[in-house]
Amino acid sequence: MKTALITGGASGIGKACVIRMAQEGYGVVVADVNMPAAEALAEELTAKGLAAIAVHMDVSSEEEVESGFDKMMETYGSCDLVMSNAGIQIVHPFDEYPFSDWKKMMAIHADGAFLVARAAFRRMKASGKGGRIVFTGSVQSFVGSKLKEPYNFAKHGVAGIAKAIAREGAEYGIYTYTICPSFIKTPLVEKQIPEQARDLGITEEEVVKNIMLRDTVDGQFTTVEDVANTLAFLANDQGALTGQSLRLTHGWAMM
């Protein structure tokens, strides 16, 4: 059985990807700090006869990342697909951005991406079978956004590390990708709408229309299913797309 570990797998984009890969026949690992939600999802899938486990994994902890991957290997014996997806958002005007919040953002987005990808790489290389490492980037991997300097820094960074790992991983059959969605209505985004309205002195409707969807060609949100479909597609890529960032942005930041 092929296997997939998805961080931040208990909610939003990660949850949709967990469900999709389980439906594709993968043994899935829901890796999250929210254990009640991760366990509930794993139970829901196993009740349907699909293979799923939940592990507590704070992606900023080297120990928890390594032990979560060890649990994956003990349970399934292989590590084929890994999605480094866990993330948070903290918005502030740049001149008021607390250093402590910058550090929180870096711990999850930068340290987390490094630790999860390295743990995956180690196991995929050791197996001799290779595998696929997918980062959740963002349209913010390419553009800049008010109030989001640390997020922009980190999301540009994951697109960069994916390219470097693609070079180093090729000889072991390890392929890497960055999926870069524009805004998707998940808990992470629902939380930002009132916060941005407050910080920018505009209404919540204006945040959605004039900020989140302004640069799309059709005024549409991307969906969690769009990301899950892309992940399922990349799971079968044989290297043609390695190192690439795929933009799911409704025309925002076209190449």
Residue numbers 183-212 binding ligand NAD by CB under 6 A: 183-184, 186-189
Smallest separation, CB 157 to ligand NAD (Å)? 12
Q: Does residue 251 contact residue 175 with C-beta atoms inside 8 Å?
A: no
Site for ligand NAD contains 242 (CB under 6 A): no
Q: Of the ranges 6-14, 40-48, 98-106, 117-125, which one interacts with ligand NAD (CB under 6 A)? A: 6-14
Q: Of the ranges 81-89, 97-105, 122-130, 166-174, which one interacts with ligand NAD (CB under 6 A)? A: 81-89
Q: Of the ranges 86-94, 119-127, 166-174, 231-239, which one interacts with ligand NAD (CB under 6 A)? A: 86-94
Q: What's the DSSP call for residue 223?
A: -
Burial 166-195 (b: 16+ CB within 10 A, else e): beebeebbbbbbbbbbbbbebebeeebbeb
- Please indicate whether residue 151 is annotated as part of the active site: yes
What the block records as the tokens of 158 is 């994951």
Compute the distance between CA of residue 253 and CA of residue 249 in angstroms, rounded to an integer: 7
Catalytic site residue from 26, 151, 175, 177: 151
Which one of 4, 5, 20, 32 is in contact with ligand NAD (CB under 6 A)? Answer: 32
* Closer by beta carbon to ligand NAD, 85 or else 196: 85
Compute the distance between CA of residue 165 and CA of residue 115 in angstroms, rounded to an integer: 13
**If you search the block for the tokens 């991307």, which residue do you land on?**
222
Q: Does residue 67 contact residue 33 with C-beta atoms inside 8 Å?
A: no
| Bridge partner residues of 177 (DSSP) | 134
Site for ligand NAD contains 34 (CB under 6 A): yes
* Closer by beta carbon to ligand NAD, 141 or else 242: 141
Count of C-beta atoms within a 10 Å radius of residue 205: 10
Site for ligand NAD contains 10 (CB under 6 A): yes
Residues with catalytic roles? 151
| Site residues for ligand NAD per CB under 6 A | 7-8, 10-14, 32-34, 57-60, 85-88, 108, 136, 138, 181, 183-184, 186-189
